[in-house]
Amino acid sequence: MTATRVLVLNSGSSSVKYQLLEMTDGSRLAAGLVERIGERQSRLLHTPLASGGERRERVEEFADHEAALRAVSGELDADGFGLGSPQLAAIGHRVVHGGQTFTRPTLVDDAVLAEIERLIPVAPLHNPANLTGITTARTLNPHLPQVAVFDTSFHTTIPEHAARYAIDTATADEHRVRRYGFHGTSHAYVSRKAAELLGKDPSEINAIVLHLGNGASASAVRGGRCVDTSMGMTPLEGLVMGTRSGDVDPAVVFHLVRVAGVSVDGVDELLNKRSGLVGLCGDNDMREITRRVGEGDEAARLAFDIYIHRLKKYIGAYCAVLGHVHAVVFTAGVGENSAPVRRAALAGLEELGLLVDEERNDAEREGPAAREARIISPEGARVAVAVVPTDEELEIAEQTYALVSDAGSPVRH
Ligand code: ADP
């Protein structure tokens, strides 16, 4: 039987999200998540999409990732798709940090696991959980190919002059301090889809991709290769996000530690969890913020304006980095859904060739049409402004499948 299915796993510290995809047509056969792993009342939600069945819920203790993944495999088995199924070609794992080592999706072996582990100091919040997901999945089916797909890989083409910070070279090298960038899977997928939308090969276009979700990042992509991105050594740098500050003067940290007496961990928590939109106005959901702006709420207005100002600065910067821009592309929760953000971000940038057609921008899409890529600039505009829904799971599955089919080795079970 041909193995044409890929299970995509996104393992967090206390959660696992998964999707099972059929690669012949990209359809979803099942999706779900386990949350609160390690707590007394963990919860598994499983949707058997292939059969159109009801979502199933299990609330019980899943003591660790192994227990959680065993339960996921059990749910998949019940639908006829378990981890032992001969149709399963591979598992694709989202791994946040691949450092400078992993420039592409990689078939997991012991050396790869050791290298992901070596990168833990630069990604202490994410890589340990990603690693646990992989080792657990390997235990459950040692013969199944496991592929690691890294958030950082797409950004490994960024040239040194954009990746390096202007700090002492020896210190930077010793501690691997540099721009790595994140959301790479999304930037890769969206920039490729944008080229498709324009009827071009990715090598023929320069694009600015704005991934605006709860986390947010911008990237400059020249001919299909990333040349700059707004997130840095960690996902804290760059745009204003739901709860993260994005760019601040680094001396703000010294000030808060020395003068305000906040601990280093306290500043870390402040900038990552209590800043950005939530820190500015108490809300991090753009729907709520735009609703409040409509009611004349001043804190929400200021938060919105700061968010847009930062976005504009990056758009301008990346126009300069690229020299010639063919497309500006909005994606992720805010980018795909917020017409006010798209309008405000490009307002006044006509001189750069950036125009938004009001009617196209405001057109509400529902159902499957909402997932279609579309142009929102006017006919004949110099630069195409586009909305391209991201699909990180599909991208991980495709990269995984391409690798295991290319490897030339038959999939063993
Ligand atoms: P994550 O970074 O968690 O993957 P998403 O890409 O799903 O995030 O984006 C989530 C965010 O998208 C929400 O916090 C909200 O601000 C925004 N969002 C979702 N739907 C809409 C909408 N219809 N209008 C404006 N913003 C939206």
Please tell me whether 214 is known to bind a ligand: yes
Q: Are residues 126 and 27 in the same domain?
A: yes
Question: Is there a single domain that holds both residue 116 and residue 224?
Answer: no
Nearest to 226 by CA among 164, 129, 152: 152
> The tokens of 52 are what?
């159109």
pLDDT digits (tens, 9 = 90+) for 286-301: 999 999 999 999 999 9
Distance from chain centroid for Cα 369:
22
Query: Do 109 and 213 belong together in one domain?
Result: no
> Are residue 221 and residue 328 in the same domain, yes or no?
yes
Collapsing DSSP to helix, strand or coil, 245 comes out as coil
Task: Please give the backbone phi and psi of residue 135, each rounded to the nearest 5 degrees, phi first.
Answer: -65, -35
Q: Whose CA is nearest to atom 23 of ligand 1?
A: 337
Averaged pLDDT score across all residues of the chain: 94
Q: How many domains does the chain have?
A: 2
144 and 234 within one domain: no
State whether 384 and 236 are in the same domain: yes
Decide if 209 is inside a domain: yes
Per-residue pLDDT of 157-191, as tens digits, reads 999 999 999 999 999 999 999 999 999 999 999 99
Place 123 in a pLDDT band, splitting at 50, 70 and 90.
confident
pTM, two decimals, is 0.94
Specify the pLDDT at position 124. 83
Q: Per-residue confidence at 367, pLDDT binned at 50, 70, 90?
A: confident
Asked if 363 and 221 sit in the same domain, the reply is: yes
| CA of residue 242 to ligand 1 center, whole Å | 9
The answer to whether 10 is a known ligand-binding residue is yes
At 112-122, the pLDDT tens digits run: 999 999 999 88
Show the domain range for 47.
5-150
Q: How far is the CA of 258 from the centre of ligand 1 (A)?
A: 36
Assess if residue 188 is contained within a domain.
no
CA distance 298 to 301: 5
Ligand 1 centroid to residue 185 C-alpha, Å = 18
Which residues contact residue 243 at a Cβ distance below 8 angstroms, ignoring those fewer than 6 apart? Answer: 214, 272, 273, 274, 275, 276, 277, 278, 279, 284
Domain boundary among the residues 150, 184, 211 is at 150
261-270 in b/e burial notation, b at 16+ Cβ within 10 A?
ebeeeebeeb
Q: Is residue 43 part of a domain?
A: yes
Q: Is residue 186 part of a domain?
A: no
Question: Are 228 and 189 a contacting pair, CB within 8 Å?
Answer: no
What angle in degrees, to the nearest 10, is found between the helix axes of 339-346 and 286-294? 80
CATH number at residue 274: 3.30.420.40
Task: Please tell me which residue in 25, 77, 151, 228 is annotated as part of the active site.
Answer: 151
Gap from CA of 359 to ligand 1 centroid (Å) = 22
* pLDDT digit string, tens, across residues 321-332: 999 999 999 999
Tell me, rounded to whole angstroms, the distance of Cα 171 from its chain centroid: 29
Using the atom order of ligand 1, give the atom closest to the CA of residue 285: 16
Q: Are residues 78 and 203 in the same domain?
A: no
How much is the pLDDT for 82?
82
Q: Is 392 annotated as a binding residue?
A: yes
Tell me what pLDDT residue 1 has: 62
Q: Report yes or no on 174 lying in a domain.
A: no
∠ CA 300-182-255, rounded to 5°: 60
Nearest CA to ligand 1 atom 3: 214
CB 267 within 8 A of CB 322: no
Using the 3D structure, point to which of 125, 150, 175 is the last residue of a domain. 150
**335 assigned binding-site residue:** yes
Contact 139, 66 (CB under 8 A): yes
Q: Is 362 marked active-site?
A: no
- pLDDT band, very low/low/confident/very high, at 410 (cuts 50, 70, 90): very low
Is 399 inside a domain boundary? Answer: no
**The residue type at 306:** I
Q: Which residues line ligand 1 (CB under 6 A)?
A: 213-215, 242, 284-287, 332-334, 337-338
Based on the domain organization, do 362 and 264 belong to the same domain? yes
90, pLDDT greater than 90: yes
Task: Say if residue 320 is in the same domain as residue 382.
Answer: yes
> What is the strand order of the sheet 374-375 is part of?
225-229, 216-222, 206-212, 327-331, 384-387, 374-375
59 in a structural domain: yes
Q: Same domain for 229 and 119? A: no
147 pLDDT more than 90? yes
What pLDDT is recorded for position 406?
66
**pLDDT of amino acid 371:** 84
19, 272, 291, 338, best to mutate for ligand 1 pocket (most atoms within 8 Å of CB): 338
Q: What is the pLDDT of residues 213-222, one digit of tens each?
A: 999 999 999 9
Annotated ligand binding at 285? The verdict is yes
The domain boundary, picked from 92, 127, 150, lies at: 150
Question: Residue 81 falls within a domain, yes or no?
Answer: yes
Instruction: Report the nearest-CA residue for atom 4 of ligand 1.
Output: 213
Q: Based on the domain organization, do 223 and 371 belong to the same domain? A: yes
Neighbours of 322 (CB within 10 A): 18
The closest-lying atom of ligand 1 relative to the alpha carbon of residue 332 is: 6
Q: Whose CA is nearest to atom 20 of ligand 1?
A: 333
Whose Cα sits closest to atom 14 in ligand 1?
Answer: 285
Q: How far is the CA of 285 from the centre of ligand 1 (A)?
A: 7
CA distances from 398 to 24, 161, 376 (A): 10, 31, 28
